[in-house]
């Protein structure tokens, strides 16, 4: 299982990449909560570049994938 830090460190500054719940082996609901924290506090070394992808589980929308760009600020 890769960590967010490992995924970000593999990217070059300015590179666009995807982080998903599946990549982190997290449940979609857990990933959704993590992304919402990033949105409030700032992501560790990257910024979101597009609207997060959402999945419907039991009638609720949860973020399951984001597209980001490496900022170089960890």
Inform me whether the pLDDT recorded for 61 exceeds 90: yes
Inform me whether the pLDDT recorded for 49 exceeds 80: yes
Count the domains in the chain.
Answer: 1
> 13: which residues sit within 8 A by CB, 6+ positions away?
70, 71, 72
Q: Cα–Cα distance between 69 and 44 in angstroms, integer?
A: 11
User: Global pTM?
Assistant: 0.84
Q: What is the mean pLDDT of residues 18-43?
A: 92
Cα angle: 42, vertex 53, 3; to 5 degrees? 55
Q: What is the mean pLDDT of residues 6-16?
A: 91
Confidence of residue 1 (pLDDT cuts 50, 70, 90): low
Domain around 37: 4-70
* Token representation of residue 47: 């910024």
Cβ–Cβ contacts within 10 Å for residue 2, how many? 12
> 17: which residues sit within 8 A by CB, 6+ positions away?
7, 11, 46, 67, 68, 69, 70
């Amino acid at each position: 299982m890769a960590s967010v830090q490992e995924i970000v460190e593999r990217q070059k500054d300015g590179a666009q990449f995807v982080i998903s719940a599946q990549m982190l082996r997290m449940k979609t609901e857990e990933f959704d909560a993590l992304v919402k924290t990033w949105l409030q506090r700032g992501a560790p070394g990257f910024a979101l570049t597009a609207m997060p992808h959402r999945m419907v589980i039991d009638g609720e929308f949860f973020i399951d994938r984001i597209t980001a760009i490496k900022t170089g600020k960890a």
